[in-house]
Structure 1
Amino acid sequence: MAEAGRPGTPRLRLYLDLIRWNRPAGWLLLLWPTLSALWIAADGFPGWHLLAVFTLGTVLMRSAGCCVNDVADREFDRHVKRTAQRPVTTGAVSVPEALALGAVLALLAFGLVLTTNAPTILLSFAALAIAIAYPYAKRLVSMPQAVLGVAFSFGIPMAFSAVLGGAQWHWRAVADAVPPHAWWLLASNLFWVLAYDTEYAMVDRDDDIRIGIRTSALTLGRFDVAGVTAFYGVHLVSWAVVGWSLGLGGWFLGGIAAAAAQVAWHWTLIRHRTREGCFTAFRLNHWVGFAVFAGTVVDLALR
């Protein structure tokens, strides 16, 4: 079969390459904190409907985000070895084609949201706006990973809203449906995104310097490893404090401890700043989120 980006490549394969279908780590990074929030909001199993909505919605929106990101970054990506063969960058998939695919995926995700409630539907518009804004943030801010952190964490308040929200169509209803601790969890998760996406940015450091892209890895400079470690620490400590304050106990803290052990291993992978080590740490980060999710599920199940 022809390689992606070469003439004769089947359209379906190009589309699957565009949405990173063969790299599920991307949507797993969104999924685990969202499901953790869903379980916390429901004080246990949230039901098959909401589980399906947020699982499928996460996959669809991450895929749609890849389409928008690759269109926005197509001129930069051609100068980075890791991204030079992406379908939009090579021209195998046109810009209108990629945007159309992204729009279809986003509409499918919105169809799922429509089965929830009014506050969650309202929040979905804010989530979409942030997701669209992220690819352009690296042109404007020195740590665009913070914008990505908000985008990747927005499933948390939406999960609370889906469980606790009613039928009122106004923003006050959103405030009533999303308790303060949901926003604290969003802020906590933002630091996890800063940690793993800085590891990701460390992979492309040399290319990003050459083409003028702004990233947290470049902003932190020689303090990048220390910064990543601090981001992890803030995330795990704050998530543990919020969970403990909500009555989660030993199994939950066991999940936090399992995540912390992985963070210690990640430090050994990134401390020498090799491309291979940094990319491995990034690629396996979803297990950090899974550890926290598993601890949450077991703790709530054994209450």
Structure 2
Amino acid sequence: MLDGSVLVTGGAGYIGSHAVLALLDAGHRVVVVDNLVTGFAWAVDPRATLVEANIEDDDKVRTAIRMHDVKAIMHFAGSVVVPESVSDPLKYYRNNTAASRALIESAVAEGVPHFIFSSTAATYGTPEKVPVAEDDPKSPINPYGWSKLMTEHMLRDVAAAHPINYAALRYFNVAGADPEGRTGQSTAGATHLIKVAVEAATGKRASVGVFGTDFDTPDGTGVRDYIHVSDLAAAHVAALDLLVANPAESHTMNAGYGHGFSVLEVLDAVDRVTNMTIDRKLEGRRAGDPAMLISDNARILETIKWVPRRDDLDTIVKDALAWERKLAERE
């Protein structure tokens, strides 16, 4: 067990709030730093301490590190909408790259020995082969992917120069919600397919857009590797254990299931789970969307003590739907 607390940036957001739950359930002490621009204070488990601040606010972050004896940082804060990164790239280089640089500097200045980074499969761009492995070429096709890859490079260089090790987890498509209904994806205007589809199923949207039907895939729609958010959170806890046990080693790992589903297959699953038919609007491709992204997840399975427990599309949809219904009751 870590001798100290874990600071979770973006812990009031979607993935971060699930990581907070996983850490707390594993017995860790947790302090959350979140500016609550897209996150929600109510999404932070009351067992954790919430500090409302921007991660580039050095004074607040470093004070939190000292006050709570922080020995590890899990960094989820940032902007995540791929099309928006194409239309507003400076926002992504500010919120993702520049802010991460400030956070890493605070970690080094305060002697935090372990850092876990929320990276993305968007670092691969349009992969030359599928499934894509960690050492395959990285050539992002959107500013979101570049902003994350730049942060990976910073961590690599900082770990070579300072006594800190890191794990960068490259997420594929994260979906679902806490099976116990404690948190889920709550951001207004979300663009993730399963979130959008369950919003349509609960009447929040009239239809679901299918962006691109002419990709080089079996049914013409984009194929993605969907990972349940609770499995992803568990991977972070296991990655932390690895960093603590091996302080001289750093790791970059894909976080996915190793197989994918097309947009139409996902919508079929939503229809199946809800016993209704979601209206589908066929539209053109979005900027920055590759045809297919599927992880080669051999490295993460071999490196950390992690066994995916919710690798089932219908289960992911059911948990997302249950959260959407619970969210509707809050409104």
Q: Which has the larger share of helix?
A: 1
Same fold (TM over 0.5): no
| Structure-1-length-normalised TM-score | 0.33
Q: Which has the larger share of strand?
A: 2
